[in-house]
Structure 1
């Protein structure tokens, strides 16, 4: 079984690794997903090093949580979001985890670089708290209800 993609045909909560260093944004994101029509479980880390450590621990611990998505900020302390993407791209065991970049940057070069590093989507953080709820519903509509995730690598 793929440790990074749970099977959503069951009523289990959607498991999200949230990599975000701003406590206010963590709160807004979690509240937005509470308003969506699916139950979520967040595993939150505040920097890129902690994200990579969490993922490596998950690879070695079969009892750890299956993950459905990663929400990744780019501007992180220690290891940046770009470096996290590079590591995911270079490790065959990590490439199946869908990664949605969720950042305040609207810079074209950040968007291009994120996709070059195999991000699955690039989302700009809303400026209005109400727009975070719309973001949660949009993620639900596409990534949870509609998207077909890749098969487990052999």
Structure 2
């Protein structure tokens, strides 16, 4: 069986913890689904590139506003690879309409969630993992 992973890239460790706890509570993270998190977008991107080579299902929960590189910088790097099979969601506290407009320019983004992830977002993530 190919691996299933949820990968969170967010510079705020508290947001990562809350996301993880909500996904665990709803049993989205389990023995078949690993959860990996990175507060460094550079390290997260490096891991993603390696993990993508393994195959399987990858759900990426990506923050937008980060100091090292923005979520959009991460998306630009990812777009250079074959990522059409990756499920990418922006999970952000940004309420900027400009950010939403920028997100719309990436046709491979599957959704835009506000922090903390809600029930609907959790169910969308769960459905991606069933593929």
TM bucket normalised to smaller: 0.7 to 0.9
TM-score between the two structures when normalised by the length of structure 2 = 0.80
2:123 is matched with which residue: 102, 117, 141? 141
Match of 2:40 in 1: 47
Q: Give the structure with the larger strand fraction.
A: 2
Unaligned runs of 5+ in 2: none
* CA deviation string 1:49-104 (max 9, x = no partner): 112211222245x4xx744300000112322100111122232x223211110011
Gaps of 5+ in 1: 1-5, 7-11, 127-131, 150-154
Higher Cα Rg: structure 1 or 2? Answer: 1
The separation in 1 between residues aligned to 2:104 and 2:44, in whole angstroms, is 19
Structure 1 residue corresponding to 2:94, chosen from 99, 105, 111: 105
1:1-51 alpha-carbon deviations (Å, 9 max, x no partner): xxxxx5xxxxx7x52011011111111111111111332421111122112
Aligned residues: 127
Residue aligning to 2:71: 81
TM-score, reference length from structure 1: 0.70
Equivalent runs, 1:5-154 vs 2, <5 Å: 14-38=4-28, 39=30, 40-60=33-53, 62=54, 66-91=56-81, 93-118=82-107, 119-126=109-116, 132=117, 135=118, 137-145=119-127
